[in-house]
Amino acid sequence: MLKILIPSMFMLLTTWTSPFKQLWSTILMYSFLVATLSLTWLAMPTDTGWFYINNYMAYDPLSSPLLVLTCWLLPLMIIASQNHLAAEPENRQRTYISLLISLQIFLILAFSATEMIMFYVMFEATLIPTLIIITRWGNQMERLNAGTYFLFYTLAGSLPLLVALLIYHSSMGSLSYLSLTSLPLTCSNLYADKLWWMACLLAFLVKMPLYGVHLWLPKAHVEAPIAGSMVLAAVLLKLGGYGMMRIMIILDPLTKELSYPFIILALWGVIMTGSICLRQTDLKSLIAYSSVSHMGLVAAGILIQTPWGFTGALILMIAHGLTSSALFCLANTNYERTHSRTIILARGLQMVLPLMATWWFLASLANLALPPLPNLMGEIMIITSLFNWSFYTLILTGLGTLITASYSLYMFLLTQRGPIPHHLILLEPSHTREHLLLALHLLPLLLLIAKPELVWGWTA
Amino acid sequence: MNPYILTILLFAMGLGTTITFASSHWLLAWMGLEINTLAILPLMCQSHHPRAVEATIKYFLTQATAAAMLLFASITNAWITGQWNLEFMSYSLPTTLVTVALALKIGLAPLHAWMPEVLQGLDLTTGLILSTWQKLAPFCLLLQINPSNTSLLLILGLASTLVGGWGGLNQNQLRKILAYSSIAHLGWMILVLQFFPSLTLLTLLMYFVMTFSLFITFKVNNSTTINSLSMSWSKAPIISSMVPFILLSLGGLPPLSGFMPKWLILQELTKQSLAPLATLAALSALLSLYFYLRISYAMTLTMSPNILSNALPWRLPSNQHTLPLAITTSLTICLLPLTPAIITLLTL
């Protein structure tokens, strides 16, 4: 564990002491080395239980896919940011890279925390670098509002979580994951216990996001620069899912009745945000709402607390992380050429950038959950377990799948097919860097088809 | 100001606080508070500007009222119990009066109205002394009396956090924002006073460190409004890049040190079965966070992407001593991992 964390911390030192000409290549190579080393976390000699334990950090089959995703994403963020930061002064570039690295450090500590307060502190700590990336390096005036929404939605949800964790700690004595399963469960019917249940989950529901409290997400994703959008979509939303899965253990048996409205809200959100995607004019906004849609399915899968639900949620989180990040990178390639996010301004790109069209095609297919990709595996497992929980959810989830397919195809057809507008004929050709970036996103997704056991958690 | 007179005044301020620290007789404690008040008055109006004189008068009136109320309460206690000792106040009337008098002295809501107006009339250094040093003596007394009424301190605390949050929302003068931030932090300190007094001391000291950083940062940039902060990145770029962390630490965001007092206070309140109060206080911290965030937007996060060669202010050579700022900024950002050590030190 420390052999990944300490090199990540020293990457901060490398950022500030490398000669400027070699900064980006050095950091890229360093982060790739850390990412490759982190792949060892996927090797799990036993099916359940904790690995590599020290007093404060450990990982298990639930957190190791998310940890590997976090470490894998840093080199990808660095590749993606190289172009738009090239014009900035030297120290600003170093500061930006330091923010990305510190985000990775906090995320590693969050996913490997063994005690819930440590998880909480690191969960909140990830807000600060993300806030700075969005508000300082975003490109439009609305980024300040986006940063405020992002910070305050998340904090308003997570401060009750802190009080709820402290209440549990004062009555049960320990908040360590290792002993949570064996501590007696709280079984009472007081109204205050229902409020406590709500307080435990609200932070993660806001982070995921659940449909009613999702307003921060389109703002934050759209206004963030590419690395900010990538890390938000790929990993920060999954913090909410991961936290929910960890805390579900202590919330039984209240969850059986109290989770009804949230499951319905999540499923309704799948349909509503999917429908909004069909009417979007802003490309990044479309991808952001598609994130809300997928995470609504994840939230429903976690709240029904079945093994297939948890497994489906975890696989969908990993697959969605890679897919959504790839889609944001593709949208960024459009943005860097036309400096606009409007979809209809960059149409018919297959004529001009045919190789990029391949990546658009693969990413759109992944987004609409085409078999045999892991996206489908996750969605099918969640839909099946929801059907088992109640027959009527099939209407909502089936409709949701249909709408997802329509907006993903709509996005692909609108950006790639059709006649190309005249102002785009002299578009800059695709860089090798951009092809590398998308290959590194989509190849792991394709490779996961062969061995999904790596990412399906400890319940299946 | 004449350096001899400055020395005498600063010495007298230190003397007043020290007398209050060392006293166990109510009259001596009152005397220390009065010496403290009288010594700072010339410092406050040294510029002879009408606004500064107005602030001085307001400060004098409120502090004199508070001291008179304190004297009355201690005399009543002496009449009832026959002794003047600080710790042995067992009747509710004198204890409540003392609490309210000290609340007026430090500026807790609903007795806070003087604080923003007084701070606005002072220059930043005197404002710093008012916000930090002048709070020590009243807190020393508050820590020693046994509270008679549990709800009084909780109401004072909760009202202060809410007023400190809401009051600062519409301000663009930095000194008024700092006043409301002071009120909010004092509210947090009072919330936990009767359960775990060491946490009050911890919060007070952490607040001193954080607000020292902020006051000195504003002094280095010589700015008193939010608008004038936007030029600070060209005068002192490194200070400007540290300010968001200082402000977020004041707002109580982990993993910065400002989270430490809030976390420990929330833990103590939940242990005392005051969870709804804890939630309300935590959410009221979000109000303060909004205006801290607004200041950090104005100062750092809207920095221009490239170095502009025009539209820069004159950068005259300054001999500001920024070493204290460096020390307190480091403490404001990096102290959270030392929480167990600090708790052990405070509960010895």
What residue spans define the domains of chain A? Answer: 1-180+187-455
Test B301 with A135 for CB contact under 8 angstroms: yes
Bridge partners, B25 (sequence order): B85
Can you give the pLDDT at residue A181? Answer: 73
Test B289 with A170 for CB contact under 8 angstroms: no
Test A159 with B283 for CB contact under 8 angstroms: yes
A426 vs B39, more confident: B39
Which parts of chain B are beta strand (E)? none
Q: Are A246 and A119 in contact (CB under 8 A)?
A: yes
How far apart (Å, rounded) are the C-alpha atoms in residues B213 and B181?
A: 14
Can you give the pLDDT at residue B297? Answer: 92
The dihedral built from the CA positions of residue B341, A177, B192 and B126, taken in this order, carries a sign that is positive
Nearest-CA distance from A426 to chain B in Å?
Answer: 28
Running along chain A, 460 residues long, what does each successive block of 10 average in pLDDT?
91 96 96 94 72 81 92 96 91 94 96 92 96 92 92 96 93 80 69 90 94 94 94 94 91 85 95 94 95 96 94 96 96 92 90 93 95 94 95 95 96 92 88 96 94 82
Q: Which residues contact B326 (CB under 8 A, 6 or more apart)?
A: none
Does residue B289 surpass a pLDDT of 80?
A: yes
Residues of chain B contacting residue A132, judged by C-beta atoms under 8 Å apart: 244, 301
Assign A262 to helix, strand or coil.
Answer: helix
Reported for A257-262, long-range contacts at CB under 8 A and 24+ positions apart, including other chains, are A258/A194, A258/A197, A258/A198, A259/A303, A259/A304, A262/A201, A262/A205, A262/A210, A262/A299, A262/A303
Test B279 with A156 for CB contact under 8 angstroms: no
For the whole prediction, is pTM greater than 0.90? yes
ipTM for the assembly: 0.93
Give the tokens for residue B312.
């820069």
Can you give the pLDDT at residue A384? Answer: 96
Closest CA to B202 of B32, B338, B24: B338
CA angle A312, A183, A300 (to 5 degrees): 25
Can you give the pLDDT at residue A50? Answer: 77
Over residues B182-228, the pLDDT tens digits come to 999 999 999 999 999 999 999 999 999 999 999 999 998 888 999 88
CB-nearest partner of B297 from A87, A144, A163:
A144
Nearest-CA distance from B276 to chain A in Å?
Answer: 9
Test B255 with A167 for CB contact under 8 angstroms: no
